[in-house]
Amino acid sequence: MSIVTSDAASRELPVAPERHDHSPDRPAPQQLPRRPVSTLSAAGDLLRALAAPVRIAIVLELRAADLCVHELVEALGVAQPLISQHLRVLKSAGVVHGERHGREVVYRLVDEHLSHIVVDAVAHVEEGERR
């Protein structure tokens, strides 16, 4: 089975081949609703936007408080141009929102659900390291 490319984003994934009988000791898989390729593509874009160590660190910092660029620079020890570049990626992906306050732009997470993706990924890695 192949996934349809993004140029056909409005179509759904191809129908699975005919079902077959499983061994009697294995329950049949649960039938889940099919997602449109456009939804899967958007989810992939979001995960790619989150898939950089500095962006993960930014999301973790913004979970605690809304912060401006110089506060993120100080907290993460990363150069200001790099923080700004990563914030642009997160902003274009709809992860963060910036609001001007005088000369500063204060960034906040758009949705708490997004931080759970990052927190869960970090927790998963940390649990694996303890084993």
The position carrying tokens 């061994």 is: 23
Between CA 80 and CA 74 the distance in angstroms is: 9
Q: Give the model's pLDDT for residue 20.
A: 65
User: pLDDT-derived band of residue 17, with 50, 70 and 90 as boundaries?
Assistant: low
Q: Which pLDDT does position 16 carry in this prediction?
A: 59
pLDDT at residue number 114 = 85
> pLDDT digits over 73-121, tens only?
999 999 999 999 999 999 999 999 999 999 999 999 999 888 899 999 9
DSSP bridge pairs for 104: 101
CA distances from 49 to 35, 62, 104, 105 (A): 21, 15, 24, 20
Q: Name the residue among 77, 129, 87 with its Cα closest to residue 110.
A: 87
Domains of the chain, start order = 53-131 (1.10.10.10)
Note the pLDDT tens digit of each residue in 18-72: 666 767 788 877 888 899 999 999 999 999 999 999 999 999 999 999 999 999 9
The model carries a pTM of 0.75
What angle is formed at CA 93 by the lines to CA 34 and CA 6, rounded to 5 degrees?
Answer: 45
Asked whether the beta carbons of 34 and 6 are under 8 A apart, the reply is: no
Per-residue model confidence (pLDDT) at position 14? 61
